[in-house]
Amino acid sequence: VRMAVFASGSGSNFTALEQACREGELHAEIVHVITDKPEAYVIERAKQAKIPVTVLQPKAFVSKQAHEHAIIDTLRASETEWIILAGYMRLIGHDLLSAYPSRIVNIHPSLLPSFPGKDAIGQAVDHGVKVTGVTVHLVDAGMDTGPILSQEAVRVVEGDAESTAEAIHAVEHVLYKETLKLLFEQ
Ligand code: GRF
């Protein structure tokens, strides 16, 4: 399975998946990393892992459509089969969705449909819920709304977004590879 990972930030989920592929735990290969942010730390991680990385900033294009077409060209060139979103902070538009129908996966740090969108961990802590978690889902046109593939609960550390985030990330790094493994075996 040829995957492209999309990320806008640190890329710890990228690293977890890259390691799972390298160690043969996940029968897949990350063929490309795509980011919309030239300062994203995932770029360093991709370089260290010797995986091609392309920065495509939306502001360099006249429209969202043009941006997505540049992404699609990059994906076609690397024969990408699946798109794996890992902290990619932008909605996927119509053209990219139709180029990869039911082949785009996202991980979100809450038990969806609770706390979609940005800062899901902060939202959960601020709301005072006792349990939050991680969701892996297929991507549709909405914000964190597509069909759910897997979920795992994580206890909230009361009033402490940082410790809660740490616990969530540890779960993400296991749940993402396990979910993709099952998905690719289908
Ligand atoms: C993760 O919490 C993921 O669920 C969310 O963005 C974060 C990315 O973290 N969509 P990282 O860049 O993989 O470290």
CA 156 to CA 91: how far, in whole Å?
27
DSSP bridge pairs for 6: 34, 85
- Complex ipTM value: 0.96
pLDDT tens readout for residues 117-175: 999 999 999 999 999 999 999 999 999 999 999 999 999 999 899 999 999 999 999 99
108 catalytic, yes or no?
A: yes
pLDDT tens readout for residues 32-89: 999 999 999 999 999 999 999 999 999 999 999 999 999 999 999 999 999 999 999 9
Asked if 134 and 175 count as a contact pair (C-beta separation under 8 A), the reply is yes
Q: State whether the beta carbon of 11 lies less than 6 angstroms from ligand 1.
A: yes
Q: State whether the beta carbon of 9 lies less than 6 angstroms from ligand 1.
A: yes
CA 75 to CA 3: how far, in whole Å?
9
Q: State whether the beta carbon of 28 lies less than 6 angstroms from ligand 1.
A: no
Taking the centre of ligand 1 as the mean of its atom positions, its distance from the CA of residue 47, in whole angstroms, is 19
35 Cβ neighbours under 8 A, 6+ residues apart: 6, 7, 8, 42, 43, 53, 54, 55, 56, 88
Domains (range + CATH), the chain: 1-101 (3.40.50.170), 107-186 (3.40.50.170)
Structure tokens given for 158: 């009361």
- Give the pLDDT confidence score for residue 186 in this predicted structure: 79
pLDDT tens readout for residues 90-124: 999 999 999 999 999 999 999 999 999 999 999 99
Q: Whose CA is nearest to atom 4 of ligand 1?
A: 108
- Residues of the binding site: 11-13, 64, 89-92, 106
Which among 91, 152, 166, 172 is the best mutation to test ligand 1's pocket, defined by most ligand atoms within 8 Å of the CB? 172
